Structure 1
Amino acid sequence: MTASPPVDLPLDPFLLEHLDDPYPVYERLRDAGPVVHLADRDLWVVARYDSVSTVLRKYRQFVSGRGSSYVRVAASGFRAPFIDNDPPAHTRIRRSVQQRFARSAIEEMRPDVREPTERLVEAAVAQGEVDVVTALTQPLPDLAIRRLTGITPPNTETITSWADSVMHMVGPDADPVHMERVLEAVGWLAEQGLAGMPAHCLGRLIMEQGGDTADLEDGEERLMTLASIWLAGIDSTNSLLANAVHAFAHFPEAWEAVRDDPTLIPNAVEEVLRWDSPFRQFFRRTVEEVEIGGVVIPADADVCAILPAANRDPARFADPDTLDIARPDARQHVAFGASIHLCIGAPVARLEAAEFLGALASRVRAFELVGTPVRNPNREIRNFTSLPVRLVTA
């Protein structure tokens, strides 16, 4: 295969100085070409919408089974059943629980998500000034995931730490403490969490029956499938909810539009996902030489698809740096991935975000930052450790 050589530039999106505001380096990566080779990491980066979509959708050329994160499965020893497998194993595992994430099943969850959301938002509004992260966006995903899986963790702080470590563990230069925390979480689940699950929950369906299709292998596969749904659903939704508040603090006119017309909330959720995506990137590995935009990527290469960069590509989205809750194509974002590896928990996250914004819209006129937001230095997911906000009601 003959094609143009890759652009080889010192643009490393994993450096700590880029984590708070990665969008300038994402823009430079998009401008550099359809594929950029990071020589120091021997990593092939795609940041344009078309290139990212190609990598995510051509799952037979860009495989997940060798690892969907920076660290390959062979190096980490950790395989997430949904995102670190290719067909047919991926198909079998996903089908085993797929109907639990269907629209009708998600709608059944709505009252159980709405009640704690209304309660926590009401308490935060009464307080006036809160750290949105600790008051709202950390506890809410845990409560929803309890309803979904039947797992009740020791406390919010512990499950938040465990979920955060999942994302740190598979990133570059990970501290070994994160692997220790993940092993602690899975150990707690096996030794204590399973016993406390109620009857007829998703957790028991997985562990006792192998899912709806009874195809999950007994033992480790069942446990890791449940653990993946449980832990992955915490940090990603925490990120989405906090990013939403942060976005509307910067675009007050968009929040005013939501309050004036709550029917815009579903599209507002999509636009928040596009404007500030929770997941920074997904990785794939090539099974053979493959060409993107005239650039040849070698076989067995590590390919990094940067989701937020794609979602702010001006070649795909008009005025991409503006939060436009009426954007007609907002749902075309790739914040949850695409194709067969589209995040299975995306409907739950959308439900939580819609209920969250609905509860806030009926009570809060504006969000005012009252301190400096602190981003989590996590190279895999974009969230906050602190977001101090005044919830203005009058």
Structure 2
Amino acid sequence: MSNVAAAPRRDAIDLYRPEALRDPYPLYAELRARGPVTHEPERDIWLVPGHAEAAAVLRDHRRFVSGDGATYESALGRTERYPLIETDPPEHTRIRRAVQPPFARAEIEQLRPGIESAAAAIVGQALAHGEVDAVPALAQPMPDRAMAMLTGLTPPSCQALVDWSDAVVRAQEPAADPRHTELLLEALTWLGADGIPGLPAHCLGRLIMDGGSTGGLDPEGPERLMTLASIWLAGVDSTGALLGNAIDAFVEQPDQWELLRARPDLVPNAVEELLRFEAPFRVFYRRTRDEAEVGGVAIPAGATVCAVLGSTGRDPRQFADPDRLDVTRENARTHLALGTSIHLCLGAPLARMEATSMLTELTRRVQRFERTGDAVRSPSGTMRKFDALPVRLVAA
């Protein structure tokens, strides 16, 4: 193993400073230029910004573990964990196998009519208004409805679900507010008291909660509830972020929207390109229990390692002209936005279906998007998304 160490620098890069959250891409370029790994001494995290190196970290679950936490804050000492992202084999293998069947291609395809119907209704309602905030009008309703179809859970409102999903990641960030923890507890309380008792007879929620030991999940303790919560809440924020980022990208690059309208067959590839261009998850974390090496840099045991997903999609070693949106890009699907290896996003097929259905419906009915006010980025250090995106939908 190399004895090269990533020396601390006085001009340390902080991914969480406000200007980096608003426009992180110049910072990502600087970070990649520094080398395969940079130690950020202020927060004591090891940043991995390149596509190849981050992929190596995410695929090596033995040296870079998830069981100690996949977010900025360590999971050690936390009473509740998210079983699908904060466990390692063999425990992770057992849990994932127990919930995998409903995410098979044939099972997800059964949701397509409902997803496409929801897309048509959402777009139709937005067009009736003409000028909308694209976040609550277009980006957020689709994952709300999709999660209801998948899990059987019907939350008090779309906004409540959005706030709960946002709190899942915000509660583990450096700038976490006690309100985030309150919202997270509120979500889990509603799930146990109202959501699960109200589940219909045949749905993913029932499979998880009633499967018990026969389904591979622990019938005792919080594992089943936390597994359902992680699938339900994680599928809202990420897909909503993808859709909001997509609309903003087409406002900025209308030529790509015109191409997509002329070539709707490109929509599935456009979804991959949008995931590459603006990864919903900025970062994903791993921890080392023994010394490890990435790109010739030795990382000590007990280190917090950050795969900078937002940077990997703009790595010129992987993607030619990476700062340009190109819906025809041939290798767009090699992005890491949905993870990889054993922690590849379980709901990725559904997220792709939601985005494809929404963009297909929009290409049919919207000639162009026009900005009508200032877009507001979320202060989240984990999710690259909008809090507000005022636009005019010009009907086709």
Superposition TM-score, scaled by structure 2 size: 0.97
- Cα shift at 1:2: 3.6
Aligned to 2:372: 370
- Cα shift at 1:14: 1.1
Contact 2:5/2:299, CA 8 A, preserved across alignment: no
Task: Determine the C-alpha separation between the residues in 2 that align with 1:2 and 1:60.
Answer: 19
Task: Determine the C-alpha separation between the residues in 2 that align with 1:375 and 1:96.
Answer: 37
Structure 1: 5+ residue stretches without partners? none
Aligned to 2:216: 215
Contact 1:3/1:291, CA 8 A, preserved across alignment: no
Task: Determine the C-alpha separation between the residues in 2 that align with 1:2 and 1:261.
Answer: 50
Q: Deviations over 1:163-209 (max 9, x none)?
A: 11001011113112111111110111001111111111110111011
Superposition TM-score, scaled by structure 1 size: 0.98
- Cα shift at 1:161: 0.7
Aligned to 1:291: 293
How do 1:1-394 and structure 2 match up within 5 A? 1-9=1-9, 10-210=12-212, 214-218=215-219, 219-394=221-396
Q: Find the residue that maps to 1:362 and give its secondary structure.
A: helix
Q: Deviations over 1:43-79 (max 9, x none)?
A: 1000011111111011111000000000011154331
Identity among equivalent pairs (%): 52
Give the alignment's Cα RMSD to 1 decimal: 1.2
Q: Deviations over 1:361-390 (max 9, x none)?
A: 000111111111101100111111100011
Name the amino acid aligned to 1:217: D
Q: Deviations over 1:308-333 (max 9, x none)?
A: 10110001100000011110000000
Name the amino acid aligned to 1:22: P
Name the amino acid aligned to 2:4: S
- Cα shift at 1:7: 4.4
Contact 1:96/1:210, CA 8 A, preserved across alignment: no
Name the amino acid aligned to 1:215: G
Q: Deviations over 1:15-64 (max 9, x none)?
A: 12211111111111100110000011111000011111111011111000
Aligned residue pairs, count:
393
Task: Determine the C-alpha separation between the residues in 2 that align with 1:393 and 1:175.
Answer: 41
Instruction: Name segments (4+ residues, structure 1) moved above 4 Å.
Output: none
Task: Determine the C-alpha separation between the residues in 1 that align with 2:208 and 2:30.
Answer: 45
Q: Deviations over 1:69-119 (max 9, x none)?
A: 000111543311100000011000111111211111111100111112101
Q: Deviations over 1:217-237 (max 9, x none)?
A: 114111110011111111111
Task: Determine the C-alpha separation between the residues in 2 that align with 1:388 and 1:81.
Answer: 37
Q: Find the residue that maps to 1:392 and give its secondary structure.
A: strand
Contact 1:76/1:170, CA 8 A, preserved across alignment: no
Name the amino acid aligned to 1:148: L
Structure 2: 5+ residue stretches without partners? none
